[in-house]
Structure 1
Amino acid sequence: MPKSLRPWRAASATPQPDPVRIARLERELGIGDGEPFTDGRRCLMAGWGDALDSVDVVADEYGRISLTSETGSYGLGAVTPGQGGYRIQVDMGFRAIGPNLAAHSGLYFGRASANPYQFGAPGTMGGYHLAVRQSGRMRLYRHAPGAVAGIALGEGDVHTAAPKAGEPMTFEIDVTPETVEVRRLGDPPWTTGPISDDTHRGGHFGLSNGSVDNPAARPFWDYLVVTEL
């Protein structure tokens, strides 16, 4: 498998074979015995690639990655979508839950350069970030250059089922030329719906620990796949 499509590499332990995980990744990538995308979407990025070589990223025995960087953010690179935009699909979970259920983590995207987004710090450019709280609430935000706080988008928080420690949630982020939308898979109402906003359309995106600063409770991510819409 090419380096850019490597599904995992544990930092200090040997991963145990997981047939379900391997079959799912093969199906998403259209490799091995798996079936390719049934709707013909082109795969733009899959797996963690060079992120696994960074001292700011650590993988556990299941291939799930977490961030060790002091800033709590890590840029994954950039995607170059077609005219219809792109979709980011990723699993995310928390290693521990509570006591602060308002603590959040997530992803950032739409930025024009590799300069990463950092929660609670003024940045030099704008973009979007998804905040998923340990209570299960999620919200999409737009952040502006020089601003510390984001601007909440959509009609309000989306209330989803409370996450459980160590169990992943699957999210989809759709970016079209005119709209952005976030869904947590598992129940149709768990969506922001398409939000009319075309402020930022850069291709750079990445991961954010957000407000979770306890290493024992830090988030993990898995199954990154970016496709063309």
Structure 2
Amino acid sequence: MTTQIVILAAGMGSRLGRSLPKPLTELADGRTIMGQQFDNIHQAFGKAAQVTVVVGYKLEHIIEAFPEASFVYNEQYDQTNTSKSLMRALQASAPGGVLWMNGDVVFDPAALERAAKLVARDQSFVSVNTAKVSDEEVKYTTDAEGYIRELSKTVKNGLGEAVGINYISRDDKAVLLRQLKRVGDQDYFERGIELAIEQDKLHIEPVDISDLYAVEIDFAEDLERANLFV
């Protein structure tokens, strides 16, 4: 079955202060953030990978830049967070698991090559970086078996940070979708994952990519750091 991949790109990205959607921000090598993501996807999963982009803010610019993709519209992009964008994407997806990523992450191509091994065995996962644990980032802890136990910005004594590249298996997708419908409009999708773990006993594996780069672009200094890698 062809791998289904979703890029969440509906937000306004106001903190970066650009006129275009943040995923269309140009990097030092001339590609955009999303262009780098598409290149990484094709390298890991081939040209046949089915990519769906959740759009909202100034959607016409993203649609024009990536006509080969499919698109899902979050019409409440200015009132909701990533939980509702992912909800819409999962609702529109075909049977089978879904790999998704935030549309503002510049990351090492090897991150998806590593992830592809878990996708192949249909194991739900969250990619993590254990090299740093910042207060403002989504952090995680694990249970005795090594699966994700907590996943949020308020986690205490976190083992590392989530980097925004994740996968939900075929069998786990309906459970996550139900939880995403329940969470608040301003919740991140990680809240849906955390509830699915807590209430439905989902096994979500952390995939450590600390040896690779992955930079979430929120501010100008993040963009400067990302440009050191590309």
Provide TM-score, normalisation by structure 1.
Answer: 0.33
Larger helix percent: 2
- Which one has more relative contact order, counting CA pairs under 8 Å at least 6 apart? 1
